[in-house]
């Protein structure tokens, strides 16, 4: 529980800093420069968060739920920032951009990672085989390592890993 509280505190700090950056940059930068800069900063934050979670090599069942909760907390805390960036950008419609995920690729990945944290092994395997995880930015190595971190060694896990390795796109 102490690790969860420490991680939650770190996420709260990141959200606080992002909000401060928003408050400081918005009046100083040209609107288009401000939005591009914020999208870039958010991409960096979500990319790092996804990478750090995917680098964990042994995740207990309780920890998967805690990680999922931390991701949800961060996304909820930043939802108003997403909305202000999206509604303030008249070019989004011209660029055929429908959501923040179109400008922050790692946001799609972190949201999918949150789903994967409580998904059954067969469903994760099916998500890889139907290219859903690939479309969210996952690599075959990330999916394999994630499965090894979450699920105990078993014939089912071996079969699913074999299926993932044999999938060709």
**120 token code pair:** 């059954």
- Is 169 part of a structural domain of the chain? no
Distances (CA, A) of 132 to 57, 136, 139: 23, 6, 11
Give the model confidence (pLDDT) of 23-40 as tens digits.
999 999 999 999 999 999
State yes or no: pLDDT of 130 exceeds 80. yes
- The confidence score (pLDDT) of residue 95 equals 54
Query: In terms of residue numbers, what domain contains 86?
Result: 2-118
125 is a domain residue: no
Q: State the residue for tokens 């991409």.
A: 43
Comparing 101 with 49, which gets the higher pLDDT? Answer: 49
Domain count, the chain: 1
Mean pLDDT (the chain, rounded) = 92
Is residue 28 domain-resident?
Answer: yes
* pTM (whole model) above 0.85: yes
Q: Determine the pLDDT at residue 52.
A: 96
Is residue 17 one of the residues assigned to a domain?
yes
Identify the burial level of 103 via C-beta atoms within 10 angstroms of its C-beta, where 0-12 means exposed, 13-18 middle and 19 or more buried. Answer: buried
């Amino acid at each position: 529980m102490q690790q969860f509280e420490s991680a939650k505190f770190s996420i709260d700090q990141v959200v606080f800093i992002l909000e401060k950056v928003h408050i400081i940059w918005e009046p100083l930068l040209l609107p288009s420069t401000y939005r591009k800069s914020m999208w870039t900063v958010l991409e960096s934050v979500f990319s790092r968060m996804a990478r750090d979670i995917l680098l964990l090599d042994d995740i207990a069942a309780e920890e998967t739920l805690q990680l999922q909760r931390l991701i949800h907390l961060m996304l909820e805390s930043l939802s108003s920032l997403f909305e202000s960036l999206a509604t303030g950008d008249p070019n989004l419609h011209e660029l055929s951009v429908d959501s923040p995920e179109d400008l922050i690729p790692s946001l799609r990945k972190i949201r999918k990672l949150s789903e994967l944290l409580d998904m059954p092994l067969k469903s994760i395997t099916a998500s890889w085989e139907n290219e859903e995880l690939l479309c969210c930015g996952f690599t075959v190595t990330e999916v394999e390592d994630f499965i090894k971190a979450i699920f105990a060694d078993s014939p089912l896990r071996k079969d699913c890993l074999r299926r993932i390795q044999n999938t060709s796109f």
